[in-house]
Amino acid sequence: MRVIIEADSDSGSKRAARFLADLVRRKPECVLGLATGSTPLAAYRELIRMHREEGLDFSRVTTFNLDEYVGLGPTHPQSYRAFMQQNLFDHINIRPTSTFVPDGRALDFELHCRQYEQRIRDSGGIDLQLLGLGSDGHIAFNEPGSSLGSRTRLKTLASETVRDNARFFGGEDKVPRLAVTMGVGTILESRRCLLLAFGEHKAPAVRDTVEGPITSQVTGSALQLHREAIGIFDSASASLLVRRAYYAEVEASQQLLERGEYRQLGIGSQST
Ligand code: GLP
């Protein structure tokens, strides 16, 4: 995994927004995988600013969200569909018919999940999947124990996740117990994955995801198998990473490569 450590969540979010915006500019008809939660909020604000001030054009973009609570309709204030409308879609020029969020009120979930996967395939697959990280290291709602080959399906929320999300629902007893979520296998098929985690409370999950063993107990760790997974962290969430200094060196080389400053890296120079 390419690990980018920014000083704080603000610069990390701007960095993430730049990855998304660069793709939208390079490939206007791209397919974005989007995430909910507090982590991507500032990145979405930055995309809205880029749309308003720099004309970033979403008119040909298609989006697929990772997950949705079972039982919540699109107008329920805690539904992920409502979250996406409020925090992104209502403020950019994306076509409403090009935004897909799993339906928490589907009558036949097996069919709905199959169709969701088919839609992703029909759209050409996800170019870039944005991901947050649960405090137990889960991605989307792939709780500990989820198969690393899993597809979009129903998942029972872990008690840690229910506790984490109780603040949005006004109590643990009001949090839905089930969610419909893209699987780890679905996520790994995205061409690029962009994992974000900010704050000290995410430090153990970041450590386990980036430097721990690949295990279904920490579904984020499956990203180690991905060819193009990028983690953007702040110094607090990255504080438990053992190889921080090395990641900074890799980034410095990456910057030189991107700027075409090959000589400083010893590329093209003769050694005698
Ligand atoms: C939920 C979501 C995840 C999200 C996680 C972390 O479990 N299903 O997609 O990454 O919460 O949320 P937050 O960003 O609020 O810490």
Same domain, 204 and 252: no
| Structure token digits, residue 84 | 């996406």
Same domain, 8 and 109: yes
> Which among 138, 164, 189, 234 is annotated as catalytic?
138
Residue 162: what pLDDT?
93
Same domain, 33 and 49: yes
Q: Verify whether ligand 1 is closer than 6 Å to residue 133 (CB atom).
A: yes
Same domain, 231 and 261: no
Residue 127 annotated in active site: no
> Is pLDDT of 271 > 90?
no
Same domain, 187 and 225: yes
Chain segment 8-48, per-residue pLDDT in tens: 999 999 999 999 999 999 999 999 999 999 999 999 999 99
Residue 51 annotated in active site: no
Same domain, 44 and 92: yes
Distance CA 124, CA 112 (A): 19
Residue 99's alpha-carbon distances to 34, 72, 94, 147, 152, in angstroms, are 10, 17, 8, 27, 17
**Rounded to the nearest 10 degrees, what angle do helices 41-54 and 80-87 cross at?**
40
Residue 57: what pLDDT?
98
Ligand 1 center–CA 230 separation, angstroms: 17
Q: Verify whether ligand 1 is closer than 6 Å to residue 182 (CB atom).
A: no
Distance CA 168, CA 137 (A): 20
Ligand 1 center–CA 132 separation, angstroms: 5
Largest CA distance in the chain: 71
Chain segment 120-152, per-residue pLDDT in tens: 999 999 999 999 999 999 999 999 999 999 999
Residue 164: what pLDDT?
87
Same domain, 183 and 57: yes
Same domain, 164 and 143: yes
Mean pLDDT for the chain?
96
Same domain, 44 and 140: yes
Binned at pLDDT 50, 70 and 90, residue 188 comes out as very high
Same domain, 113 and 126: yes
Burial tier of 169 (Cβ tally within 10 Å: 0-12, 13-18, 19+): middle
**Stretch 214-234: mean pLDDT:** 98
Residues 6+ apart with CB under 8 A from 82: 74, 75, 76
Same domain, 205 and 256: no
Residue 223: what pLDDT?
98
Same domain, 23 and 84: yes
- The answer to whether the beta carbons of residues 58 and 92 sit under 8 Å apart is yes
Domain that holds residue 247: 243-272
Give me the number of domains the chain comprises: 2
Residue 234 annotated in active site: no
Residue 94: what pLDDT?
98
For residue 130, the domain's CATH number is 3.40.50.1360
Chain segment 233-259, per-residue pLDDT in tens: 999 999 999 999 999 999 999 999 999
